[in-house]
């Protein structure tokens, strides 16, 4: 049951921040990044996937 949270926030509970950041650090994903980090990119792509999965094929 929904406890006042959005669907995206309910799904992000299952994501491990530690493991995600470890992968970003390992492959230097945020090297020379000023504003739009890998975490931001992941959240945007997850939100787009929830909206319409076929939209990502056009990006």
d(CA 17, CA 34): 20
Task: Report pTM.
Answer: 0.78
Average pLDDT, the chain: 87
pLDDT of residue 59: 61
Q: Reduced to 3 states, what is the DSSP secondary structure of residue 52?
A: coil
Domain ranges of the chain: 7-58
Q: What pLDDT sits at residue 52?
A: 77
pLDDT for 1: 59
State the Cα–Cα distance between residues 44 and 34, nearest whole angstrom: 17
Please, what are the averages of pLDDT over each run of 10 residues along the chain (59 residues)? 78 92 97 95 88 70
pLDDT digits (tens, 9 = 90+) for 36-47: 999 999 999 888
Other CB atoms within 10 A of residue 22 CB: 11
């Amino acid at each position: 049951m929904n406890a006042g949270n959005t669907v995206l926030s309910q799904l992000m509970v299952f994501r491990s921040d530690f493991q995600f950041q470890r992968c970003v650090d390992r492959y230097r994903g945020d090297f020379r990044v000023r504003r739009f980090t890998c975490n931001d990119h992941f959240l945007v792509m997850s939100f787009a996937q929830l909206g319409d999965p076929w939209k990502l094929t056009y990006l």
